[in-house]
Structure 1
Amino acid sequence: MSDHSPRFSRTSLPRVLAAGLVGSSLPLMAFVAAFVADKTGLMHLICPTGGLECLAPLALIAIGGGSAAAWPLLWLVRVRPAWAVALLGFVFNLILQSLVAQVIPSGLDSPMLFVNSALSLALAALIIRPRSRQPIST
């Protein structure tokens, strides 16, 4: 049996908006985590030199950690399947942040972080829809 329901419907709008809201909160959580890591000395353990070579590992940790935090947050706001939306959102976020870093020199320290994170998870929620429950036919 195939599912002939429309891929994008009005019922998907709350899911997309909720995922975008979760996505827009991720950079703020990353900033708070970086502040705590700096004050506790954890940042020095991750990158003892403090040079520019530390940017890529710290960015990957921030995006990966944000995606790990997105999974339970998406689950709490009833975006299903939360794990798939978080995983695809991570990929989209990585691509968008890389593109912005190449096009806009100050893009990684601007409001574009919040916009890109929101767009990444919203797009993932739009693409991945929850599995519909099919009645068992006899």
Structure 2
Amino acid sequence: MDLSKPGTPSVTQRLPERVVFAGVVGAMLPLLHIGWALLGAALADESRCGHFGCIEPLVEAWEIGRWLVPVLAWPLLGLLRVRPAWHVALVAPLFLVPLWELSARPEMLFGVLSTVLAYPFAALVTAPGASWRQRGLGVALFLLLCGALAVPG
């Protein structure tokens, strides 16, 4: 995008759009994750089923999908014009892993929907042309969220 053309939005004007679209990608990723886990359970070998039915392949597919699905974030971010998409895709797991670890159980609703929070934080922190104040604000808000999750009760 050539920012020298008149009428072209500046980087700071596109920052809210970038954060919102990263949140949309974050909302799409749990759906892909659930789809991956269900596909893994549907294609599971019947001989691996235990006493409680075929739950083991579902859990295994869920764990694999936890790391596979964020790889799909890069093309999705690019599709929604969050550029450079690979910056957000690489930084988002740094926000995701603490949220997964601090949530009571990763398969709970917050653990699944943590991508809705992690990708906007990553988009804010990696925004081209963002000031250090904006980046610091994103990291501070994330650390405040992690602190709130770490407090028991």
**What is the TM-score normalised by the length of structure 1?**
0.68
SS of structure 2 residue aligned to 1:50: helix
Specify which of 110, 113, 116 is matched with residue 115 of structure 1.
113
The CA distance in 1 between the partners of 2:101 and 2:95, in whole Å, is: 10
Paired position in structure 2 for 1:20: 23
CA contact (8 A) 2:33 2:62 kept: no
Which digits, 9 at most, give the CA deviation of each residue in 1:42-91, with x for residues without a partner? 7x6xxxx939xx66x843x2232121110000000000111110111122
Alignment check: 8 A CA contact 2:99 2:111 kept: no
CA distance in 1, matches of 2:87, 2:127: 10
1:50, 1:35 → 2: CA distance?
12
Preserved contact between residue 64 and residue 90 of structure 1 (Cα < 8 Å): no
2:78 matches 1:75: yes
Give the match's secondary structure for 1:109. coil
Aligned residues: 112
Decide which of 50, 58, 64 is 2:56's aligned counterpart: 50
The runs of 5 or more residues in structure 1 that have no matched partner are 1-7, 133-138
1:13 aligned partner, one-letter code:
P
Match of 2:125 in 1: 127
Supply the AA of the counterpart residue of 1:91.
L
CA positional deviation for 1:28: 1.2
The answer as to whether partners of 2:33 and 2:69 remain within 8 angstroms in 1 is yes
**Equivalent-residue separation in structure 2 for 1:32 and 1:66 (angstroms):** 10
Match of 2:44?
41
Aligned in 2, Cα 1:65/1:19: closer, same or farther, shift over 3 Å?
Answer: same
Larger RCO (alpha carbons 8 Å, 6+ apart)? 1
Cα shift readout 1:87-129 (whole Å, capped 9, x = no counterpart)? 11122111111111xxx3xx43333135311110000000001
Q: What secondary structure, in the 3-state scheme, does the structure 2 residue paired with 1:78 have?
A: coil
What runs of 5+ residues in structure 2 fail to find an aligned partner?
Answer: 1-10, 49-54, 131-153
- Percent of matched pairs sharing the same residue: 31
C-alpha contact 1:63 1:94 (8 A) present in aligned 2: no
Q: Which amino acid aligns with 1:115?
A: L
